[in-house]
Copies of this chain bind each other. A is one copy, B any other.
Protein backbone atom coordinates (compact mmCIF):
# COMPACT_ATOMS: atom_id res chain seq x y z
CA UNK A 1 0.00 0.00 0.00
CA UNK A 2 1.08 3.55 -0.73
CA UNK A 3 0.91 5.52 2.52
CA UNK A 4 -0.82 8.88 2.81
CA UNK A 5 -2.06 11.24 5.49
CA UNK A 6 -5.56 12.64 5.93
CA UNK A 7 -6.37 15.80 3.96
CA UNK A 8 -5.62 18.92 5.93
CA UNK A 9 -3.05 17.26 8.19
CA UNK A 10 0.71 17.64 7.99
CA UNK A 11 3.97 15.98 8.84
CA UNK A 12 6.70 18.24 10.16
CA UNK A 13 10.26 17.57 9.06
CA UNK A 14 13.19 18.24 11.41
CA UNK A 15 13.77 21.64 9.81
CA UNK A 16 10.11 22.60 10.21
CA UNK A 17 9.97 21.37 13.82
CA UNK A 18 13.03 23.48 14.62
CA UNK A 19 11.40 26.58 13.13
CA UNK A 20 8.08 25.95 14.82
CA UNK A 21 9.78 25.37 18.16
CA UNK A 22 11.67 28.62 17.70
CA UNK A 23 8.33 30.45 17.53
CA UNK A 24 6.76 28.49 20.40
CA UNK A 25 9.82 28.88 22.63
CA UNK A 26 10.02 32.61 22.01
CA UNK A 27 6.37 33.04 22.91
CA UNK A 28 6.70 30.73 25.91
CA UNK A 29 9.72 32.58 27.31
CA UNK A 30 7.83 35.86 27.25
CA UNK A 31 4.74 34.32 28.84
CA UNK A 32 6.88 32.94 31.66
CA UNK A 33 8.64 36.25 32.26
CA UNK A 34 5.25 37.89 32.65
CA UNK A 35 4.23 35.36 35.31
CA UNK A 36 1.98 33.09 33.25
CA UNK A 37 1.84 29.37 33.98
CA UNK A 38 1.29 26.50 31.56
CA UNK A 39 -1.61 24.10 31.62
CA UNK A 40 -2.35 21.24 29.24
CA UNK A 41 -5.61 19.51 28.55
CA UNK A 42 -6.43 16.28 26.77
CA UNK A 43 -7.06 16.25 23.04
CA UNK A 44 -10.37 14.51 23.65
CA UNK A 45 -13.17 16.30 25.46
CA UNK A 46 -16.68 15.11 26.18
CA UNK A 47 -18.90 16.29 23.34
CA UNK A 48 -21.22 17.72 26.01
CA UNK A 49 -18.41 20.15 26.84
CA UNK A 50 -17.83 21.21 23.24
CA UNK A 51 -21.24 21.17 21.59
CA UNK A 52 -23.11 24.47 21.39
CA UNK A 53 -20.06 26.57 22.23
CA UNK A 54 -19.04 27.53 18.70
CA UNK A 55 -22.39 28.16 17.01
CA UNK A 56 -24.13 25.88 14.53
CA UNK A 57 -21.24 26.12 12.06
CA UNK A 58 -18.73 25.27 14.76
CA UNK A 59 -20.70 22.22 15.85
CA UNK A 60 -20.46 20.90 12.31
CA UNK A 61 -16.69 21.34 12.33
CA UNK A 62 -16.16 19.32 15.51
CA UNK A 63 -14.30 16.07 15.01
CA UNK A 64 -16.24 13.37 16.82
CA UNK A 65 -14.64 10.20 18.14
CA UNK A 66 -16.62 7.04 17.51
CA UNK A 67 -17.54 5.14 20.67
CA UNK A 68 -15.46 2.03 21.18
CA UNK A 69 -16.46 -1.59 21.03
CA UNK A 70 -19.82 -2.64 19.66
CA UNK A 71 -20.96 0.95 19.20
CA UNK A 72 -24.03 0.09 17.13
CA UNK A 73 -25.51 -1.97 19.99
CA UNK A 74 -26.13 1.20 21.97
CA UNK A 75 -26.91 3.43 19.00
CA UNK A 76 -30.20 5.18 18.36
CA UNK A 77 -31.80 2.56 16.08
CA UNK A 78 -34.51 4.89 14.82
CA UNK A 79 -32.02 7.56 13.82
CA UNK A 80 -29.91 4.92 12.08
CA UNK A 81 -32.89 3.55 10.18
CA UNK A 82 -33.88 7.09 9.16
CA UNK A 83 -30.25 7.78 8.17
CA UNK A 84 -30.50 10.88 10.36
CA UNK A 85 -26.82 11.62 10.95
CA UNK A 86 -27.41 14.64 13.16
CA UNK A 87 -29.62 12.65 15.49
CA UNK A 88 -27.62 9.42 15.38
CA UNK A 89 -24.32 11.10 16.23
CA UNK A 90 -25.37 11.65 19.84
CA UNK A 91 -25.55 7.91 20.39
CA UNK A 92 -22.46 7.07 18.34
CA UNK A 93 -19.91 9.50 19.73
CA UNK A 94 -19.59 10.83 23.25
CA UNK A 95 -16.15 12.41 22.75
CA UNK A 96 -14.69 14.94 20.34
CA UNK A 97 -11.37 16.59 19.60
CA UNK A 98 -10.87 20.03 21.10
CA UNK A 99 -11.82 22.84 18.73
CA UNK A 100 -10.01 25.64 20.52
CA UNK A 101 -8.20 26.22 23.82
CA UNK A 102 -10.77 28.59 25.33
CA UNK A 103 -13.53 26.11 26.12
CA UNK A 104 -11.13 23.52 27.60
CA UNK A 105 -9.60 26.35 29.65
CA UNK A 106 -13.01 27.39 30.96
CA UNK A 107 -13.75 23.78 31.83
CA UNK A 108 -10.37 23.48 33.53
CA UNK A 109 -10.96 26.59 35.62
CA UNK A 110 -14.31 25.31 36.82
CA UNK A 111 -13.09 21.79 37.57
CA UNK A 112 -9.96 23.03 39.37
CA UNK A 113 -11.54 26.11 40.97
CA UNK A 114 -10.61 24.97 44.47
CA UNK A 115 -6.92 24.49 43.62
CA UNK A 116 -6.51 27.67 41.63
CA UNK A 117 -5.47 31.01 43.10
CA UNK A 118 -7.10 33.91 41.31
CA UNK A 119 -6.11 35.90 39.32
CA UNK A 120 -5.07 32.79 37.42
CA UNK A 121 -2.56 33.57 34.70
CA UNK A 122 -2.28 30.68 32.31
CA UNK A 123 -0.86 29.98 28.90
CA UNK A 124 -1.53 27.01 26.70
CA UNK A 125 0.18 25.96 23.48
CA UNK A 126 -1.47 22.90 22.01
CA UNK A 127 -3.02 21.67 18.76
CA UNK A 128 -6.72 21.98 17.97
CA UNK A 129 -8.77 20.21 15.34
CA UNK A 130 -11.42 21.58 12.96
CA UNK A 131 -13.12 19.79 10.08
CA UNK A 132 -12.77 22.89 7.91
CA UNK A 133 -12.37 22.39 4.19
CA UNK A 134 -8.59 22.20 3.79
CA UNK A 135 -7.03 24.91 1.63
CA UNK A 136 -3.75 26.82 1.37
CA UNK A 137 -2.78 27.88 4.87
CA UNK A 138 -5.81 26.26 6.48
CA UNK A 139 -5.38 22.91 8.19
CA UNK A 140 -7.57 20.50 10.11
CA UNK A 141 -4.95 20.24 12.86
CA UNK A 142 -3.10 23.37 13.91
CA UNK A 143 -1.58 24.92 17.00
CA UNK A 144 -3.05 27.68 19.11
CA UNK A 145 -1.03 29.75 21.58
CA UNK A 146 -3.31 31.36 24.14
CA UNK A 147 -2.48 33.49 27.14
CA UNK A 148 -5.24 34.57 29.53
CA UNK A 149 -5.76 35.87 33.00
CA UNK A 150 -9.05 35.18 34.74
CA UNK A 151 -10.50 36.34 38.01
CA UNK A 152 -9.62 40.02 37.86
CA UNK A 153 -10.98 43.01 35.97
CA UNK A 154 -7.88 45.13 36.41
CA UNK A 155 -7.07 47.07 33.24
CA UNK A 156 -3.42 46.49 34.07
CA UNK A 157 -3.73 43.15 32.32
CA UNK A 158 -4.89 44.75 29.09
CA UNK A 159 -1.70 46.83 29.16
CA UNK A 160 0.36 43.77 30.03
CA UNK A 161 -1.02 41.79 27.09
CA UNK A 162 -0.20 44.63 24.69
CA UNK A 163 3.36 44.56 26.04
CA UNK A 164 3.50 40.79 25.60
CA UNK A 165 2.55 41.22 21.95
CA UNK A 166 5.15 43.97 21.65
CA UNK A 167 7.91 41.87 23.17
CA UNK A 168 7.14 38.61 21.34
CA UNK A 169 7.06 40.25 17.92
CA UNK A 170 10.16 42.31 18.71
CA UNK A 171 11.99 39.11 19.63
CA UNK A 172 10.74 37.44 16.45
CA UNK A 173 11.89 40.48 14.42
CA UNK A 174 8.43 41.00 12.95
CA UNK A 175 7.45 44.69 12.91
CA UNK A 176 3.75 44.83 13.76
CA UNK A 177 0.91 47.19 14.48
CA UNK A 178 -1.03 46.43 17.63
CA UNK A 179 -4.50 47.95 17.43
CA UNK A 180 -6.93 48.20 20.29
CA UNK A 181 -10.50 49.29 20.79
CA UNK A 182 -13.26 48.66 23.30
CA UNK A 183 -16.66 47.15 22.71
CA UNK A 184 -18.13 49.95 24.84
CA UNK A 185 -16.78 52.56 22.42
CA UNK A 186 -18.71 50.85 19.64
CA UNK A 187 -21.78 50.67 21.88
CA UNK A 188 -21.34 54.39 22.53
CA UNK A 189 -21.15 55.13 18.83
CA UNK A 190 -24.37 53.16 18.20
CA UNK A 191 -26.06 54.98 21.08
CA UNK A 192 -24.97 58.42 19.93
CA UNK A 193 -26.15 57.56 16.41
CA UNK A 194 -29.47 56.49 17.93
CA UNK A 195 -29.27 52.89 16.72
CA UNK A 196 -28.42 50.95 19.86
CA UNK A 197 -30.83 48.24 18.83
CA UNK A 198 -28.89 47.85 15.55
CA UNK A 199 -25.53 47.37 17.29
CA UNK A 200 -24.89 43.96 15.76
CA UNK A 201 -25.73 45.18 12.23
CA UNK A 202 -23.47 48.20 12.67
CA UNK A 203 -20.47 46.28 13.99
CA UNK A 204 -20.85 43.49 11.45
CA UNK A 205 -20.56 46.17 8.76
CA UNK A 206 -17.66 47.96 10.42
CA UNK A 207 -15.80 44.66 10.77
CA UNK A 208 -15.64 44.55 6.96
CA UNK A 209 -13.92 47.95 6.66
CA UNK A 210 -10.54 46.44 5.75
CA UNK A 211 -12.05 44.50 2.89
CA UNK A 212 -14.70 46.82 1.44
CA UNK A 213 -13.62 50.33 2.48
CA UNK A 214 -15.74 53.07 4.05
CA UNK A 215 -18.01 53.44 1.04
CA UNK A 216 -18.67 49.71 1.13
CA UNK A 217 -19.42 49.88 4.86
CA UNK A 218 -21.93 52.69 4.26
CA UNK A 219 -23.71 50.66 1.59
CA UNK A 220 -23.62 47.58 3.78
CA UNK A 221 -25.16 49.48 6.71
CA UNK A 222 -27.82 50.87 4.42
CA UNK A 223 -28.64 47.36 3.22
CA UNK A 224 -28.92 46.30 6.84
CA UNK A 225 -31.58 48.98 7.42
CA UNK A 226 -29.56 51.62 9.23
CA UNK A 227 -30.78 55.14 8.42
CA UNK A 228 -28.69 57.53 6.35
CA UNK A 229 -28.63 60.04 9.20
CA UNK A 230 -27.23 57.46 11.57
CA UNK A 231 -24.73 56.28 8.97
CA UNK A 232 -23.45 59.85 8.52
CA UNK A 233 -22.98 60.19 12.26
CA UNK A 234 -21.26 56.82 12.56
CA UNK A 235 -18.96 57.50 9.64
CA UNK A 236 -18.05 60.86 11.14
CA UNK A 237 -17.09 59.33 14.47
CA UNK A 238 -15.23 56.42 12.87
CA UNK A 239 -12.94 58.88 11.09
CA UNK A 240 -11.60 59.99 14.47
CA UNK A 241 -8.17 58.69 15.36
CA UNK A 242 -7.60 59.57 19.00
CA UNK A 243 -9.26 59.00 22.33
CA UNK A 244 -9.06 62.71 23.16
CA UNK A 245 -11.10 63.66 20.10
CA UNK A 246 -13.48 60.79 20.73
CA UNK A 247 -14.26 61.73 24.35
CA UNK A 248 -16.58 64.70 23.75
CA UNK A 249 -18.45 62.92 20.97
CA UNK A 250 -19.42 60.03 23.25
CA UNK A 251 -20.04 62.07 26.40
CA UNK A 252 -23.79 61.54 26.20
CA UNK A 253 -23.45 57.76 26.30
CA UNK A 254 -22.85 55.79 29.52
CA UNK A 255 -21.26 52.95 27.63
CA UNK A 256 -19.16 55.36 25.59
CA UNK A 257 -17.87 57.18 28.69
CA UNK A 258 -17.05 53.86 30.34
CA UNK A 259 -15.22 52.70 27.22
CA UNK A 260 -13.14 55.90 27.14
CA UNK A 261 -12.39 55.50 30.82
CA UNK A 262 -11.19 51.92 30.37
CA UNK A 263 -8.97 52.87 27.48
CA UNK A 264 -7.51 55.75 29.49
CA UNK A 265 -6.81 53.46 32.42
CA UNK A 266 -5.09 50.98 30.13
CA UNK A 267 -3.11 53.80 28.48
CA UNK A 268 -1.92 55.03 31.84
CA UNK A 269 -0.31 51.66 32.50
CA UNK A 270 0.99 51.47 28.95
CA UNK A 271 2.48 54.94 29.30
CA UNK A 272 4.99 53.64 31.83
CA UNK A 273 6.54 51.42 29.13
CA UNK A 274 8.18 52.01 25.78
CA UNK A 275 6.78 49.84 23.03
CA UNK A 276 8.96 48.86 20.07
CA UNK A 277 6.04 48.54 17.70
CA UNK A 278 3.14 50.76 16.67
CA UNK A 279 0.42 50.58 19.34
CA UNK A 280 -2.68 52.46 18.32
CA UNK A 281 -6.29 53.07 19.17
CA UNK A 282 -8.57 52.11 16.28
CA UNK A 283 -12.27 52.72 16.83
CA UNK A 284 -13.09 50.73 13.68
CA UNK A 285 -11.72 47.52 15.19
CA UNK A 286 -14.78 45.30 15.70
CA UNK A 287 -13.63 41.68 16.01
CA UNK A 288 -15.09 38.92 18.15
CA UNK A 289 -17.91 41.04 19.53
CA UNK A 290 -20.10 38.01 20.13
CA UNK A 291 -17.92 37.21 23.18
CA UNK A 292 -15.68 40.20 23.92
CA UNK A 293 -17.21 42.65 26.35
CA UNK A 294 -14.41 45.18 26.94
CA UNK A 295 -11.09 45.86 25.25
CA UNK A 296 -10.34 44.16 21.96
CA UNK A 297 -6.95 43.69 20.29
CA UNK A 298 -5.65 42.85 16.87
CA UNK A 299 -2.12 42.50 15.54
CA UNK A 300 -1.04 42.71 11.91
CA UNK A 301 2.43 42.40 10.42
CA UNK A 302 3.62 45.66 8.87
CA UNK A 303 5.49 44.37 5.85
CA UNK A 304 3.40 41.45 4.67
CA UNK A 305 -0.05 41.16 3.21
CA UNK A 306 -1.72 38.71 5.54
CA UNK A 307 -4.68 38.73 7.90
CA UNK A 308 -4.19 39.30 11.61
CA UNK A 309 -1.46 37.30 13.33
CA UNK A 310 -2.90 37.82 16.78
CA UNK A 311 -6.02 38.96 18.54
CA UNK A 312 -7.96 38.88 21.76
CA UNK A 313 -9.91 40.86 24.28
CA UNK A 314 -11.79 40.88 27.55
CA UNK A 315 -14.74 38.61 28.17
CA UNK A 316 -16.96 38.92 31.20
CA UNK A 317 -18.30 35.43 31.42
CA UNK A 318 -15.84 32.71 30.56
CA UNK A 319 -17.17 30.00 32.80
CA UNK A 320 -20.88 30.78 33.15
CA UNK A 321 -21.81 27.98 30.78
CA UNK A 322 -20.20 25.56 33.26
CA UNK A 323 -22.05 27.01 36.23
CA UNK A 324 -19.40 29.39 37.59
CA UNK A 325 -20.61 32.96 37.30
CA UNK A 326 -18.85 36.33 37.24
CA UNK A 327 -15.40 35.23 36.22
CA UNK A 328 -13.97 38.05 34.15
CA UNK A 329 -10.99 37.35 31.98
CA UNK A 330 -8.83 38.87 29.31
CA UNK A 331 -6.56 37.10 26.90
CA UNK A 332 -4.88 37.13 23.55
CA UNK A 333 -3.74 34.49 21.16
CA UNK A 334 -0.90 34.18 18.69
CA UNK A 335 -1.61 32.87 15.20
CA UNK A 336 1.39 30.55 15.15
CA UNK A 337 0.73 29.14 11.68
CA UNK A 338 0.52 32.61 10.11
CA UNK A 339 3.49 33.84 12.11
CA UNK A 340 5.41 30.93 10.59
CA UNK A 341 4.36 32.01 7.11
CA UNK A 342 5.32 35.64 7.78
CA UNK A 343 8.74 34.64 9.08
CA UNK A 344 9.24 32.35 6.13
CA UNK A 345 8.28 35.11 3.69
CA UNK A 346 10.49 37.73 5.36
CA UNK A 347 13.32 35.20 5.90
CA UNK A 348 13.36 35.89 9.63
CA UNK A 349 14.22 32.46 11.03
CA UNK A 350 17.65 32.44 12.63
CA UNK A 351 20.32 30.88 10.47
CA UNK A 352 21.95 28.97 13.29
CA UNK A 353 20.11 26.32 15.23
CA UNK A 354 21.49 25.29 18.61
CA UNK A 355 19.88 21.89 18.22
CA UNK A 356 21.63 21.18 14.92
CA UNK A 357 24.53 18.77 14.60
CA UNK A 358 27.86 20.56 15.14
CA UNK A 359 30.35 18.00 13.98
CA UNK A 360 30.39 14.69 12.11
CA UNK A 361 33.25 12.27 12.69
CA UNK A 362 34.59 10.31 9.79
CA UNK A 363 36.69 7.18 10.31
CA UNK A 364 38.94 5.56 7.72
CA UNK A 365 38.94 1.95 8.90
CA UNK A 366 37.52 -0.41 11.50
CA UNK A 367 40.06 0.32 14.23
CA UNK A 368 39.81 4.05 13.86
CA UNK A 369 36.01 3.72 13.83
CA UNK A 370 36.01 2.34 17.37
CA UNK A 371 38.50 5.05 18.34
CA UNK A 372 36.31 7.69 16.67
CA UNK A 373 33.34 6.43 18.67
CA UNK A 374 35.21 7.14 21.89
CA UNK A 375 36.08 10.62 20.58
CA UNK A 376 32.41 11.20 19.75
CA UNK A 377 31.51 10.29 23.32
CA UNK A 378 34.04 12.78 24.67
CA UNK A 379 32.74 15.55 22.43
CA UNK A 380 29.20 14.87 23.65
CA UNK A 381 30.43 14.87 27.24
CA UNK A 382 31.76 18.35 26.51
CA UNK A 383 28.26 19.36 25.45
CA UNK A 384 28.91 19.38 21.71
CA UNK A 385 26.28 17.91 19.36
CA UNK A 386 28.40 15.27 17.70
CA UNK A 387 27.86 12.21 15.55
CA UNK A 388 29.93 9.50 13.90
CA UNK A 389 29.15 8.03 10.49
CA UNK A 390 28.04 4.46 11.33
CA UNK A 391 30.65 2.62 9.26
CA UNK A 392 34.17 3.35 8.02
CA UNK A 393 33.01 3.35 4.42
CA UNK A 394 34.33 5.45 1.49
CA UNK A 395 35.20 9.00 2.56
CA UNK A 396 33.16 10.41 -0.31
CA UNK A 397 30.01 8.74 0.97
CA UNK A 398 30.64 9.94 4.51
CA UNK A 399 31.25 13.50 3.30
CA UNK A 400 28.00 13.35 1.34
CA UNK A 401 26.24 12.59 4.61
CA UNK A 402 28.07 15.46 6.33
CA UNK A 403 26.81 17.80 3.64
CA UNK A 404 23.27 16.50 3.84
CA UNK A 405 23.29 17.03 7.61
CA UNK A 406 24.71 20.52 6.99
CA UNK A 407 27.36 20.13 9.69
CA UNK A 408 29.75 23.07 10.00
CA UNK A 409 32.66 20.77 10.96
CA UNK A 410 33.95 17.28 10.30
CA UNK A 411 36.68 15.40 12.15
CA UNK A 412 38.70 12.84 10.20
CA UNK A 413 40.34 9.93 11.95
CA UNK A 414 42.60 7.23 10.51
CA UNK A 415 45.55 5.21 11.77
CA UNK A 416 47.81 8.24 11.42
CA UNK A 417 45.59 10.43 13.59
CA UNK A 418 45.20 7.70 16.22
CA UNK A 419 48.98 7.30 16.48
CA UNK A 420 49.76 10.98 16.78
CA UNK A 421 46.75 11.81 18.94
CA UNK A 422 46.10 14.69 16.56
CA UNK A 423 42.79 14.72 14.74
CA UNK A 424 42.01 16.47 11.48
CA UNK A 425 39.32 19.12 11.94
CA UNK A 426 37.76 20.43 8.77
CA UNK A 427 35.76 23.66 8.62
CA UNK A 428 33.07 22.84 6.08
CA UNK A 429 32.44 26.46 5.20
CA UNK A 430 36.02 27.49 4.47
CA UNK A 431 37.43 24.06 3.64
CA UNK A 432 40.36 24.77 5.98
CA UNK A 433 41.80 21.69 7.73
CA UNK A 434 43.76 21.78 10.98
CA UNK A 435 45.54 19.06 12.91
CA UNK A 436 44.47 19.40 16.52
CA UNK A 437 44.29 17.51 19.78
CA UNK A 438 40.85 16.58 21.08
CA UNK A 439 41.17 19.26 23.76
CA UNK A 440 41.92 21.93 21.19
CA UNK A 441 38.96 20.81 19.14
CA UNK A 442 36.63 20.91 22.14
CA UNK A 443 37.82 24.43 22.92
CA UNK A 444 37.28 25.57 19.36
CA UNK A 445 33.86 23.95 18.83
CA UNK A 446 32.62 24.83 22.28
CA UNK A 447 33.17 28.52 21.54
CA UNK A 448 31.12 28.57 18.37
Contact = CB atoms under 8 A, between A and B. Distances in A.
B92 A66 contact: yes
A395 to B, nearest CB: 16
Interface stretch (A204-212, A221-229, A377-385): A377-385
A144 to B, nearest CB: 14
Contact of A10 (B42, B95, B369): B42
B45 A6 contact: yes
Number of contact residues on A: which range applies?
35 or more
A45 B5 contact: yes
A2 interface: yes
The prevalent SS among residues of A at the interface is: mixed
Contacts of A370: 268-269, 272
A448 to B, nearest CB: 15
Given A35-B357, A39-B17, A85-B72, A110 B386 contact: no
Contact of A32 (B70, B154, B355): B355
A88 B72 contact: yes
A350 interface: no
A46 B48 CA distance: 26
Interface string A1-27: 111111001111110011011000000
B377 A46 contact: no
Number of copies: 2
A84 interface: yes
Given A35-B386, A84-B72, A154-B390, A14 B122 contact: yes
A102 B106 CA distance: 34
Contacts of A111: 3-5, 11
Contacts of A239: none
24 contacts: A1-B321, A1-B323, A3-B49, A3-B110, A5-B42, A9-B42, A10-B42, A11-B111, A11-B112, A12-B40, A12-B41, A13-B39, A13-B115, A32-B385, A35-B357, A35-B405, A66-B66, A72-B80, A152-B391, A156-B388, A156-B390, A269-B370, A272-B373, A273-B374
